[in-house]
Amino acid sequence: MTYSTYMESPVGRLLLEGDEEGLRGVAFAKDEGKIEQAMRLPAPLQNAVNQLNAYFAGDLRHFDLPLKLAGTPFQLAVWRALQDIPYGETTSYGELARRVGTPKGSRAVGLANGANPIAIVVPCHRVIGASGSLTGYGGGLDRKRWLIEHERRWRTDCLF
């Protein structure tokens, strides 16, 4: 059974989805209506809420959650590579393409990045344009900027 819950965050309301096996999604939700919380969330979903709260408080820089990513082999490779970008740092689409073995595939990496179903935890916000500019983010560039600045502010102060 798939469960979902909302949580408030500094970048707006997040919708989390998962089951007993792991987290399947973190998305930016519309800020409409009342938040309905499930009485008992499966452990992976409750752990995701707890870790995201710690992340936003500046107390966590590495998520340790079971993830249930579903995508093409290329998308999965890109999403794994995203998780290797250090907290508080950024990389370009071109560099990420080189890391996954497709040095001329920056556009394909951008498409895979945009299809990432688990925002923040799988840190697609850490990918920027070759010139250092902020480009493309499903949650909007203001959120991307906030997440990058948040991580840079806390990167040396975190314990984990």
Residue 37 pLDDT = 55
Domain containing residue 114: 73-154
Identify whether 113 is part of a domain. yes
pLDDT at 92: 94
Half-sphere exposure of 57 (CA within 13 A, CB side): 10
**67 part of a folded domain:** no
User: How would you classify the pairing of strands 22-28 and 91-92?
Assistant: unpaired
pTM of the predicted protein model = 0.88
pLDDT digit string (tens) for the chain, length 160 residues? 888 889 999 999 999 999 888 999 999 987 655 555 555 677 878 999 999 999 999 999 999 999 999 999 999 999 999 999 999 999 999 999 999 999 999 999 999 999 999 999 999 999 998 888 888 888 888 999 999 999 998 776 555 4
Q: Between the CA of residue 38 and those of 17, 23, 90, 104, what are the distances in Å? A: 12, 16, 35, 45
Asked whether residue 159 is assigned to any structural domain, the reply reads no
Phi, psi angle pair for 14, to nearest 5°: -110, 145
E strand spans, 97-142? 127-128
- Residue 158 falls in the annotated catalytic set: no
Q: Is residue 147 domain-shared with residue 87, that is, in the same domain? A: yes
Catalytic entry in 85, 97, 122, 124: 124
